[in-house]
Amino acid sequence: MISLVIKDIDHIREAAREFIANIGEHRVFAFYGKMGAGKTTFVKAICEELGVDDVITSPTFAIVNEYTLHTPHSTFHTPQIYHFDFYRIKRLEEVYDMGYEEYFYSGALCFIEWPELIEDILPDDAVRVSIEEQPDGSRVVNM
């Protein structure tokens, strides 16, 4: 297990770089954490560190946002990044209907918020990432 500490928002990019350095061959990352823990903010920092120029926002209403790496990254075979937020889904059928397999098994990076709502269909090799706010306001990221 890898543990990263984000002391404050000014240090989030350092943690994002360390996260990227530990991605390896993994492509699907399931981010667990309470509302306000910083899941979206951390995914945004990761995408920015990877070179995404697009506006990075929470896909709460769209369910999935697609970003493009405008600078080729030697580690990844595809320039797409898919960022999911399943907070608003009511039934697993909604995820089936959106064709989740095409995303999860595309070889592209997939960052998933609220994966507890789709636990039954997460790929077996999905990396579980927890983000927990500490009493001092820092965040601990475990993967």
pLDDT, tens only, 44-62 = 999 999 989 888 888 877 8
Q: Say if pTM beats, i.e. exceeds, 0.85.
A: yes
Q: What is the pLDDT of residue 115?
A: 97
3-state helix, strand, coil in the chain (%, to 5): 30, 25, 45
Q: Does residue 111 contact residue 19 with C-beta atoms inside 8 Å?
A: no
Q: Does residue 28 contact residue 123 with C-beta atoms inside 8 Å?
A: yes
